[in-house]
Amino acid sequence: VLKSLLCAKCNPYSAELFDAGPKIRTIPFLCSSASSATSAHQSKESTVQDYCKIVWDTCKDATIHNSPFQPPLQGGGRLPSSSSKLTDAWQSESDFCTSFGGAPSNRSVCFSGSTVSFNATQPSASPKGVCLERIDNGSYAYLNMVPHPDGSNRVFLGTQAGKIVLATVPDQGSGGTLQFSEAGLFVDLTDQVHFDSTFGLMGMAFHPDFATNGRFFASYNCDRTKSPSCSGRCSCNSDVGCDPSKLGTDNGAQPCQYQVVVSEYSAKGSSSNVSEVTSADPTEVKRIFTMGLPYTNNHGGQILFGPTDGYLYLMMGDGGQKGDPFNFAQNKKSLLGKIMRLDIDSTPGKFFEKASFVIC
């Protein structure tokens, strides 16, 4: 039985070893000549053993379940899969290797049984070091940096307190520092952001069509005792088997006093060319998401747009406390410890209709 299993085992590299031509093969070529095989242990000039003969001699009398070595039928099909021996389908080693053996060419690589390497390029030399240039001027302590969507050498820099500035990055090796827009701050969200050691402006993202629509998004924390709009549902709730009244205070805060918010803003203003805009309106255009946090740490909040799908991805932490005591991250009904995919082009209240969640 063991021999049968070994003879039927697939090699992890086999998908890369098929003939590149129109003929469909169910297994890779087995090296059956004195020509070379490309592997991690053999050079192209070396002579290899006749691997097809080895397969025949080793497996010809072994019963192989769903054998990949069934002879082709007329029209390209194969016999129904079943347990069989090589000698049931092939009269000799010559017949077997005529069908399944081969030598490497510019269209294929034959398999010799060794670990295969498909990249013959010599690895580049390791760098001797990494040179870092300090380009900030000490004006702010930045938590986020996002390149300007117009492809220029400008970047948006966000502070944890909630200020976003637009700056030009100096040329590499120039010795220069960041050059800030003459307009000063791009947008100031400090009145909306609760800033503390683990809270603040957690992320910012610019719509894929920002150059024409001026839409951008911010992920931040708020304090429900100070802001009427900070009123999301507590993530500790009956749906996830959690009672907030039993959590107690955490660093002096009540359960879900602090919340995570994702909001939309606009930088379009009166300009028809958004790339020329150097400031944005701090007034919230649309509330995308609000949720209360059970504890005061491990809440995440990074946001990013998918490279091709247009969705906004929100990364949430497990909610805090040592060891995630309520297993929020493992609970599929909880939004904590998940990556949420949001359809921000939907109407308000329907952002989650096309949402999906990934357990981290």
Q: Which residue has the higher pLDDT, 12 or 152?
A: 152
Task: Report whether pLDDT(215) > 50.
Answer: yes
Give dist(CA 50, CA 102) in Å, integer. Answer: 10
> pLDDT tens digits for 344-360?
887 655 555 444 555 44
Kindly state the percentage of the chain with pLDDT values over 70: 71
pLDDT attached to residue 2: 52
pLDDT at 216 over 80: yes
Distance CA 180, CA 281 (A): 18
Does residue 342 sit in helix, strand or coil?
A: strand
pLDDT digits (tens, 9 = 90+) for 319-344: 888 778 888 988 989 999 999 999 88
Q: In the chain, where does the domain assigned CATH 2.120.10.30 lie? A: 142-359
Would you tell me how many other CB atoms lie within 10 Å of the CB of residue 231? 12
CATH superfamily of 142-359: TolB, C-terminal domain (2.120.10.30)
DSSP line for 43-98: -TTS----HHHHHHHHHTTS-BTT-TTPPBPTTS-BPPP--B-HHHH-SSHHHHHH
**Cα-only R_g, the chain:** 31
Task: Determine which helix (DSSP H) or strand (DSSP E) holds 7, and give its type and residue range.
Answer: helix 2-8
Beta-sheet pairing, 233-234 with 281-292: parallel
